[in-house]
Structure 1
Amino acid sequence: MSNAGPPSPELRDPSRRSGSAAVNDTGADAQGSDDSHRGPRARPWWLAPALTGVLSAALLAFMTWQVVERGFVIDWDWPFHEYVDARQPEGVARELLDGVASLGGQRLYTLPIVVAVGVWVAWKQRKIRVLIAVGSGLATVFFIGYWIKFSLARTAPHTGMDILHGDGQAFPSGHTANATLTWFLIATILFGAHGWRPDRRRFRQATVAACVIVFLAGALMALLDYHWLSDIPGGWLLGALALSVANAVLRVRLPWPILDWPSTRSSQRH
């Protein structure tokens, strides 16, 4: 005759066994309240995006004010325009440089790229979070960027005059903003902490590559005389603001819905 008594609470409820804990989509431990005192408290998830977002927004507002007031930020715009305008490349060299600048930051090319990468990562992770992050970043560039552009209506260098409320949308550079958001966000959703395959080494490498592309795209837009010199850092700051919004979406701790894709096996059975 067996002397075995009723199973212990640990056997009846596996979640109560030693070392087991339910983990939700945000990676937060269900027993976090009990373990919070065991180590140093982690920084709030919103701190980094908030700091970078506030800093980017403040600097962008300062540059916008300088453009309106014709401050020292735009002092080099006209001399730089006169210098590069007299030295514009022609022929194949011009077409090649135009192509590089367009691939780096023109929305016609960057939008399909970042959306395609976002869809692929969402499919791999089976989570909609990445798509919302991409959409929020793109929306930030679009609405804030065009709000400033239409409000200032700054003419482009090729018109031969630098006036506000004219026929132009020079400040801030949309190409540069698109490049900043696109390439840094791709590096983040691929190899960042909440990306497809988190890897610090690959993330650093991808970030360096993004820096090169973003700098090259912005420099070419000024050197080819499509934008004033001050338009370029304005675009970088707008892109950084949009990237902060996208990073906040990636970091926020919400129960994101799981995308239940139909498996190949189940489709073959039916």
Structure 2
Amino acid sequence: MRRRSWAWYVLAVAVMAGVTADVLVDGPLRRLDMTVHTFCDAHVQGGWMSVVHVFTQLGQRGVIAGFVLVPLAILGAIRARSLRPVLVPIVVVLLLSLLQEGLKSVIPRTYPAGGADVLWKHGDAYPSGHTLNGFLLIWVGIELLIVVLPVLDRWLTVRGRRDFALVTGILTGAALTAADEHWLTDVLFSLALGPVLLAGLVAAEPFTRPLWPGEPVRGRYPRI
């Protein structure tokens, strides 16, 4: 099992390195970016754009934080009589923001909305931070939901929560590409990195579990 996990990590690193190299040398994937941009710009309109836009919101940090994380964190803090359900999401969001800013600063790139794919001048399209949000912030939101409603832990296993976050991350990346808000390669990089970062949060779940206190369910939640 460990060998298989390491194989996935190596594959993810290879994909990120390969996509980045392709973008830098103007390879076939980057040329595909323009083809996908042209198709989506011409065909994803009207009702289709409205549907796609709904899924792009899964990666909008302001939307997820304002309508999901903040309310759940406040309710979780009240229920647990602790500030931990508030502090932990703040730390995760800050670290994720720093990571995104660092990655985007390496290869400045314009967004497809401008119609031109330009490197090294202006823009922070590469890689897609919104796609990473779709993986990680949704996971944090589910963890907070369990703080507020601990009974959900009977049905939402760690694996189930992970799989749900994987699906939302993939949907976010696909929607961002279809909505022409990101180049395909922006999203491909983050689709490789997102599951790795999510695996880190999942692996830390036994250690962060005391940070998500609530009513005892199967003896897992100590009261503090």
> Scaled by the length of structure 1, what TM-score is found?
0.59
Offset of residue 166 of structure 1: 2.3
**Partner of 1:232 in structure 2?**
187
Unaligned runs of 5+ in 1: 1-46, 260-270
Residue 177 of structure 2 aligns to a residue whose secondary structure is helix
**Partner of 1:148 in structure 2?**
103
Greater per-residue helix proportion:
2
Shift in CA distance, 65/251, structure 1 to aligned 2, threshold 3 Å: farther
Paired residue type of 2:175: L
Residue 164 of structure 1 aligns to a residue whose secondary structure is coil
Matches of 1:72 and 1:202, distance apart in 2? 41
**Partner of 2:122 in structure 1?**
167
**Partner of 1:185 in structure 2?**
140
**Partner of 1:40 in structure 2?**
none
Alignment of 1:34-45 (within 5 A): none
* Matched length: 208
What is the identity percentage for the equivalent residue pairs of Structure 1 and Structure 2? 25
* Larger Cα-atom Rg: 1
Matches of 1:205 and 1:247, distance apart in 2? 11
Unaligned runs of 5+ in 2: 215-224
Instruction: Establish whether residue 97 from structure 1 lines up as the match of residue 51 from structure 2.
Output: yes
Matches of 1:255 and 1:74, distance apart in 2? 45
Which of 103, 110, 116 is the matching residue for 2:71? 116
Matches of 2:43 and 2:210, distance apart in 1? 56
> Scaled by the length of structure 2, what TM-score is found?
0.69
Alignment of 1:11-160 (within 5 A): 58=13, 61-62=16-17, 63-71=19-27, 73-90=29-46, 93=47, 96-97=50-51, 99-112=53-66, 113-160=68-115
**Partner of 2:153 in structure 1?**
199
Offset of residue 111 of structure 1: 1.5
